[in-house]
Amino acid sequence: MKDKLKAFERLLNIMDELREKCPWDKKQTYESLRSNTIEETYELADAIIDKNIPEIKKELGDVLLHIIFYAKIASETNDFDITDVINSLCEKLIYRHPHIYGDVKVADAQNVAENWERLKLKEKGRHKSVLEGVPKSLPALVKANRIQEKVKGVGFDWEEKSQVWNKVIEEFKELKVEIQNKSEKQKIEAEFGDVFFSLINAARLYEIDPENALERTNKKFTKRFNYLEDKTIKKGIDLKEMTLDEMNVIWEEAKKYD
């Protein structure tokens, strides 16, 4: 513990010195750091998907830097400092884990998640609506998953997870009808949205993170396509001059390296 505290103190001292002496660090604000914070978070997410432990360590450091930076900026106007941030977090964790720090009994992790959402609604000054706490700027896929997780916390969910497939099929049929009827783009878009939402719901029910699942498929497709490009370049062939059947031969070959 002593080494951890010493390392954290060192980081705080470095932040103080940079804020005082570095021209770039001195001019930063909440707003100027925001886009960088988002970028660092995505870089951490990439490292996690890739299971790249050295990169996870590095990116965690970058995210931690931003936390320290925001707290430093706030301390300069006496709004709050890193001590306030940490103490607030500790109090929240204790409050939302009554099965550890109180006498509440839970059966499993799902019970814990449901209690967490209920306690959030009870906190003084917190959002009164179940869905008000979902950040508006979240990517749509992540937001859909978060919305479904939150409403599940108050009991709005399927009794049996297998029931969700009837909804998926229903939404898919409605999409097909709009396409076959050559409806206006807005109606087709709405039905695509319903299909996506129902599939995300199905993924949640089967304990699959839809964002991770889609990103893994993105990476798999990219790897296969890069293989296809590399193969054709080595043969001096332009992809645009190949037929789809010719491309598929190499594509099937690429699958062996997944």
Q: What is the pLDDT of residues 187-222, one digit of tens each?
A: 999 999 999 999 999 999 999 999 999 999 999 999
> How many angstroms separate the CA atoms of 172 and 196, rounded?
9
**CB 11, CB 68: distance < 8 Å:** yes
Strands (E) in the chain, as ranges, are: none
> How many angstroms separate the CA atoms of 190 and 246, rounded?
36
> How many angstroms separate the CA atoms of 192 and 178, rounded?
10
What is the per-residue pLDDT across 38-96, written as a single tens digit (0 to 9) for each? 999 999 999 998 999 999 999 999 999 999 999 999 999 999 999 999 999 999 999 88
Per-residue pLDDT band for 258 (boundaries 50, 70, 90) equals confident
Tokens 């969700």, residue located: 164
Residues 6+ apart with CB under 8 A from 135: 143
pLDDT at 127 over 60: no
> How many angstroms separate the CA atoms of 224 and 231, rounded?
11
pTM above 0.75, yes or no: no
